[in-house]
Amino acid sequence: MNIFRTGILLAALTALFGAVGFLLGGAGGMMLALMFAVGTNVFAYWNADKIVLKMYKAEAVDDTHPSGAVRRYAIIVRDLAARAGLPQPKVYIIQADQPNAFATGRNPEHAAVAATTGLLRMLSEQEIAGVMAHELAHVKNRDTLTMTITATLAGAITVLANFALFFGGNRNNGGIIGALAIMILAPMAAGLVQMAISRAREYEADRIGADICGKPEHLASALAKISQGAAQIPNAYAERHPETGQLMIINPLSGRGRDKLFSTHPATQNRIDKLMAMAGRGHAQPLGDGPSPFEAPRRGPWG
């Protein structure tokens, strides 16, 4: 998805913010909502990554962690970042059984990647590398800022829409009936914009992630396992903050059957098919100098 289209969609989210404000409080409400939207964008630019990590109670880790699995995970991220020509991101783990991962941060110099303990338990080191290469692709593409801001705006729109029940809406715009419509339709509209922004970015991150790790089939295998795990294991953090679901490599809300019409992620099988087609063509090649991390013999986290 190009920068222009993403800008248009972000503008649409901001306009939706203003529209909800107008329906709640007329012209004055719209101006207040737009001012709030601008303030939210500025705040999100500097702080959204910290907010998301706090929502998920993420713990910073490195290659000195007492757990061998966590140490290897941190080393995998370090090696892949160097291969992709990226600064070393901060590395986090989330105590959650559902396998999943995300990246956040306003730019590559202030990036962070996070994986759940469920992902570290369920996936092989090669598959973990495929997942983290995907997340680093989001960092490389500077998707992390856009996706985090859209999550923050969408959450704020939902909160603003819920105020409709308390204030009853603008009398000239349907009163309580209009307020109920705002409460239901505004979050749905915000979700559609999030979906439009996120889906194309996932395909692109899959492609570049496959190039970073050099093995599309490892990412494909990881996606199949994560998708199955997410369908069976709810993610309590994501259920409390559904607007953050677009940040994850697989929709974390699918554990409650929400991965349908308004999913911010493409169908997992479509992603797997594209990756396996890349593997069949021998398309992906590891980035940077030196051998692929999967070439044996090699010392390091992959064996």
For residue range 32-54, what is the model confidence (pLDDT) as tens digits?
777 777 777 777 778 878 989 99
Domain ranges of the chain: 3-281
Q: Is 135 a catalytic residue?
A: yes
- How big, in percent rounded to 5, are the helix, strand and coil portions of the chain? 70, 5, 25
pLDDT digits (tens, 9 = 90+) for 161-213: 666 656 555 545 555 555 566 666 666 666 666 666 667 789 999 999 999 99
Residue 213's pLDDT is 93
113: β partners: 91, 103
Q: pTM value?
A: 0.77
User: What is the residue type of 21?
Assistant: G
Crossing angle of helices 143-167 and 125-140, in 10° steps, is 80
Residue 227's pLDDT is 95
| Cα distance between residue 26 and residue 87, in whole Å | 47
Strand ranges, E, within the chain: 59-61, 90-94, 101-104, 112-116
Counting as low any pLDDT under 50, the low residues of the chain are 1, 171, 255-261, 286-303
**DSSP SS3 for 57:** coil
Residues 125, 127, 135, 217: which is the catalytic one? Answer: 135
